Structure 1
Amino acid sequence: MQFSHSDAIWQAFPELRAGALYADGIDAAADVEEAVASFRAIAGARLAEAQESEFPEIQAWRRGFSRMGLKPTQYRSASEALLRRFRQECVLPRLHPLVDLCNAISLAFAIPVAVFDTKEIAGDLQVRHATGHETYLTFGGQSEHPEPDEVIFADGEGRAHARRWTNRQSGLSAVRETTRSVLIVAEALHAGAGEDTARLVATLAEALARHWPVTVATAALSHASSRFELQA
């Protein structure tokens, strides 16, 4: 299995930097509460100084969404949506230890983090523009078709595992109790994105190793090095 971004995405967003991680050996029994609390504390301290809309990481994604023809206050990157909810409610729902950990790390870095159950991905996964014929399964079980030219995560069978790039994942490959292997992707557009996504992935790899008996592989992705080969 291979994860990549299409050439058209790199050409449209040359500032993009991404980090990817593959982990095998996940289960739903890990206790990540202490780690989650520490990452949330980092986010809380930053939010005490400024709202998320002022963060350069969030502003860069807002500009990116505008370039995709999306209203950035109607469609938010996953990291902005998490930070906004955390600022307003001071808590986030508990879903699965891995998802809770990734959400907390996303809060701390203000960078969107997507988590996919690799068992539900057919063939390769690529961030690319939609043709309009792909299918997308919502968390509620409804089937949709992404708009033509919308940026999606698409697999080899034309199934969209995320819509509007970093806006919303699919219920199809969402982490569940039976999940054992995952692909985790962090993407950023701001100045310093390469260094920050690398730090995020290193932080995540360390946290995974502390909480699960996992085998981990990582990659830093740019236009010059744009593909991640997974042994999934």
Structure 2
Amino acid sequence: MIRFRHSGEIWSDFPQLVAGVIHAEDAHTDGEHLERYWRIAAERLAAGPESGLPEIQAWRQAFTRLGLKPTQYRCAAESLLRRFRKDGSLPSIHPLIDLGNAISLAFAIPVAVLDAGTLDGLLEVRYATGDEKYLAFSGETEHPAPGEVIFADEHGHAHARRWTHRQSARSAVSPATRSVLIVAEALHPGAAHDIPRLLTALGDELPGSVSAVLTREAPEFRT
């Protein structure tokens, strides 16, 4: 069973949050439409830098509230947009990650693509206690500071640090991945409109997937 939710404290502190979750078994994509999403991102960036987009501004405000310097710790969508603006493209990593990154660019919303087979029980976005373990891509084990927002499972593994800043190597998608859990989170005023559109875009690329929009009133996803 796949279970995902945000803690009550997160909903209380960020009531404007809208989250979209999608689970796909035997997940695969051919990457046929990536350039379409890149074009959307390029058109938006032509009007100004990513820092001026309302989706990014909302995450910067959230990071500031959490005590993080927003130009040091950027949400994943802002980091992708910065790289795309400078290079004009993104490197290919894995078809499912490439898809998530392309849609993240188009919507300017952080999209986390996790190997669902690595998740132990409930995955919850919550404040860290300081006891959790985070596996960095360098291979080092880190301990998120108490109060940091993380994606944590029931066994104390942190699958993301600083909320939407960086994922963990523990749940990274690999050639062996067969089941994925994809999470998109937005805080800007248009989030209630944009998250369902983002889920539709993902669902069109992942036939047979199951998705849901999470809100404070309906906070948990399970399959």
**Superposition TM-score tier, normalisation by shorter sequence:** over 0.9
Where do 1:1-232 residues align within 5 Å? Answer: 1-27=2-28, 30-32=29-31, 34-209=32-207, 215-230=208-223
| 1:158-209 deviation line (CA, Å, top 9, x unaligned) | 0000000000000000000000001100000000101101100111100122
Q: What is the rounded CA distance, in whole Å, between the counterparts of 2:50 and 2:127 in structure 1? A: 28
Q: What is the rounded CA distance, in whole Å, between the counterparts of 1:198 and 1:26 in structure 2? A: 20
Structure 1 SS opposite 2:209: strand
Q: What is the rounded CA distance, in whole Å, between the counterparts of 1:51 and 1:16 in structure 2? A: 23
How many residue pairs match? The answer is 222
Moved over 4 A (4+): none
Q: How much has 1:99 moved relative to structure 2?
A: 0.5
Q: What is the rounded CA distance, in whole Å, between the counterparts of 1:74 and 1:10 in structure 2? A: 25
Q: What is the rounded CA distance, in whole Å, between the counterparts of 1:203 and 1:31 in structure 2? A: 14
Q: How much has 1:31 moved relative to structure 2?
A: 2.6
Letter of the 2:217 counterpart: A
Structure 2 SS opposite 1:147: coil
Q: How much has 1:25 moved relative to structure 2?
A: 0.8
Q: TM-score normalised to the size of structure 1?
A: 0.94
| 1:90-122 deviation line (CA, Å, top 9, x unaligned) | 121110001001100000000000011111111
Q: What is the rounded CA distance, in whole Å, between the counterparts of 1:140 and 1:90 in structure 2? A: 27
In angstroms, what is the RMSD of aligned CA positions? 0.8
| 1:136-179 deviation line (CA, Å, top 9, x unaligned) | 00112110000000000000100000000000000000000000
Mind listing any 5+ residue stretches in structure 2 that lack a counterpart?
none
Mind listing any 5+ residue stretches in structure 1 that lack a counterpart?
210-214
Structure 2 SS opposite 1:224: coil
Q: What is the rounded CA distance, in whole Å, between the counterparts of 1:25 and 1:183 in structure 2? A: 12
Q: What is the rounded CA distance, in whole Å, between the counterparts of 2:118 and 2:26 in structure 1? A: 16
State percent identity of aligned pairs.
Answer: 56
Letter of the 2:96 counterpart: L
Q: What is the rounded CA distance, in whole Å, between the counterparts of 2:186 and 2:22 in structure 1? A: 15
Letter of the 1:193 counterpart: A
Q: What is the rounded CA distance, in whole Å, between the counterparts of 2:210 and 2:197 in structure 1? A: 15
